[in-house]
Homo-oligomer: A and B are copies of this chain.
């Protein structure tokens, strides 16, 4: 008799964003034709850069003739893309070999898959509030989870101390959902902590392209990170690949535990459990890193940053306290009047048709807070800001 993975019974009934999609779907069924101002899931609204579109078309053409057709790709990524990404790190002062870079289907897939490298007995420490998949993927694996709470008292940037122990730690900076970003000295404390204990840092750098201030874009800017960190990145937010799917993961060759190279283990995992990432998508991804591609994606990021400014101005005027919005595409607000976050969600949806994300969905210490994404359509964002101001002032 087959026994299913009973750890699934320990999960909440549905995943946060799926639950929000169902709630907004139900609202639209009751109010057909209503326009919603979506600042919830963090999906982008601008199309792919024209350099990426051109590269995708060229790659589709390659797949249409026998001479240029590509079958199975190397499982860890096409050499052209692994080299391009290693070069992207090099330009920013980090020396990585292309075979320390793995191409992925995106950060969300990778955050789940990478856990296969670790024994289930390891304790996972999760900086919270957090992207809920960190917690759920570890519950599915039956792993013990410790929560590392944050709040206004530590500027949503918890730091290690002697009392904190774990084998695996999730750090996301710039942070989803709070928008807070660690500086070099703070990340240095985490790297020292991990190296002392033999812990491994899973560093989610999905929002690095939104950093404006002099803050680290990668954990590998910190000396010592090569022996304790894995970095997981995505083109979803950087280049609007949410529906196109592509990401990359860096596992340094210097990262070993119990005498096993995690880089070699991941090669074994990928060569066994995948047949590589679509040739077409990898060509599109490579175009992001060209001079033209970089110029175009930064123009899109500038538009999203204008959205952030519009929202922040409304929040300032309404006297609402918030974090983020500067080095990250998220604005994290304190719910007005001590309202709980799902009640605030319902109020915004029902009264002004604005969709955000309740802080409680990111962990218990997110209760009383609320996340706005700045990836919306600029006209929608201006209207949502005006509606928010009218409602909250």
Contact = CB atoms under 8 A, between A and B. Distances in A.
A136 B272 CA distance: 7
Nearest to A111: B273
Nearest to A167: B2
Given A2-B257, A14-B271, A140-B269, 4 more contacts: A2-B118, A45-B71, A69-B240, A105-B105
Interface stretch (A26-34, A276-284, A355-363): A276-284
A259 to B, nearest CB: 9
11 contacts: A3-B121, A4-B117, A6-B260, A8-B265, A18-B271, A45-B71, A113-B273, A140-B272, A140-B273, A245-B275, A280-B281
A113 B5 CA distance: 13
Interface string A229-262: 0000000100010111100000000000110101
A92 interface: no
A53 B280 CA distance: 11
Interface stretch (A56-64, A94-102, A346-354): A56-64
A274 B112 contact: yes
B63 A60 contact: no
A199 interface: yes
B108 A274 contact: yes
Given A73-B243, A271-B15, A3 B60 contact: no
A268 B15 contact: yes
Copies in the complex: 2
Interface of A: 1-6, 8-9, 11, 14-15, 17-18, 41, 43-48, 50, 53, 56-57, 60-61, 63-66, 69-73, 75, 105-106, 108-109, 111-113, 116-119, 121-122, 132-133, 136-137, 140, 167-168, 197-200, 236, 240, 242-245, 257-258, 260, 262, 265, 268-269, 271-281, 377
B275 A106 contact: yes
Contacts of A240: 69, 71
B45 A122 contact: no
Given A53-B60, A60-B60, A244 B280 contact: yes
Given A140-B116, A243-B63, A4 B274 contact: no
Contacts of A277: 245
A2 B132 CA distance: 22
Given A112-B272, A119-B4, A245-B277, A47 B69 contact: yes
A308 to B, nearest CB: 18
Contacts of A258: 3-4, 6
Nearest to A261: B4
Contacts of A116: 5, 140
The winner among A53, A75, A272 for most chain B CB atoms within 10 A is A272
B275 A72 contact: no
A115 to B, nearest CB: 9
Nearest to A277: B245
Given A119-B4, A275-B242, A63 B47 contact: yes
A112 to B, nearest CB: 3
B275 A75 contact: no
